[in-house]
Amino acid sequence: MNNTAIQMLDLRNNSLGDMGVAKICEALRNPEVVKKSSLTALVLWNNKITANGMDAVAGALRLRPALGGNGSNLHRIGLQSTQLNCQSAILLAECLADNSTLIRVDLRDNPGIGSAGLLALHSAMKINQSISLLNLDQSCIVASNAKVCSFAYSCPGCMFYTFGCLFVLLVGCSDFSQVVVLH
């Protein structure tokens, strides 16, 4: 990890699991890496990350400037099809609320997120000022559809639209700064 020119770390489809993701996050938290990091995108699609692995990702996002602080270059994190569950989504939401650099978070194809995970993400998006796109899809909301509609309609300042299978939740919609797209 001495290469300061790495801008995208794409590790999709590597079956890293929690242990592999924890090792990657440990390397990204290394002080030397933190100083020299120019990482703008981290893609971990399809790597079977449970709450334990997400805890490592959340810790890296929260604790190290290279990933989550004001000096960060990380703008995109791809967690599509990683088998996130409700607890994983809640851990992620906790660090997204305070993150000031991420612009896009991709959580598609994670049916285990559940209602509590979606509500935690919704709360984080109401606080976060930098994320402009949170990708979710129908797999994330099939079992939680009524609750998604319920919290979306009860959120003052939020708008919720459906276009066939496309759901769009506008958070902080007075300036349309944050869009949650549910494919």
Ranges of each domain in the chain: 8-182
Q: What pLDDT is stored for residue 66 in this prediction? A: 46
Give the pLDDT mean for 95-116.
86
pLDDT band at 119 (very low <50, low <70, confident <90, very high): confident
CB count within 10 Å of CB 100 equals 12
Give the angle subtended at the CA of 42 by the CAs of 40 and 135, to the nearest 5°: 100
The share of the chain scoring above pLDDT 70, in percent, equals 67
| CA distance linking residue 123 with residue 74, whole number of Å | 21
DSSP state of 17: H
Q: What percent of the chain has pLDDT over 90?
A: 15
Q: Which helix (H) or strand (E) holds 15?
A: none
Q: Provide the pLDDT for residue 37.
A: 73
pLDDT at position 55 is: 85
Q: What's the token pair of residue 67?
A: 């990933």
Owner of token pair 């099939």: 142
151 pLDDT more than 80 = no
> What is the predicted pLDDT for the residue at 42?
92
Give me the CATH topology for the region 8-182.
3.80.10
**Alpha-helical regions (H) of 46-144:** 51-63, 86-98, 114-127, 138-141
For residue 130, what pLDDT band results from cuts at 50, 70 and 90?
confident
* pLDDT in the model for residue 4: 58
Which among 141, 97, 75, 79 has a CA at the least distance from the CA of 160? 141
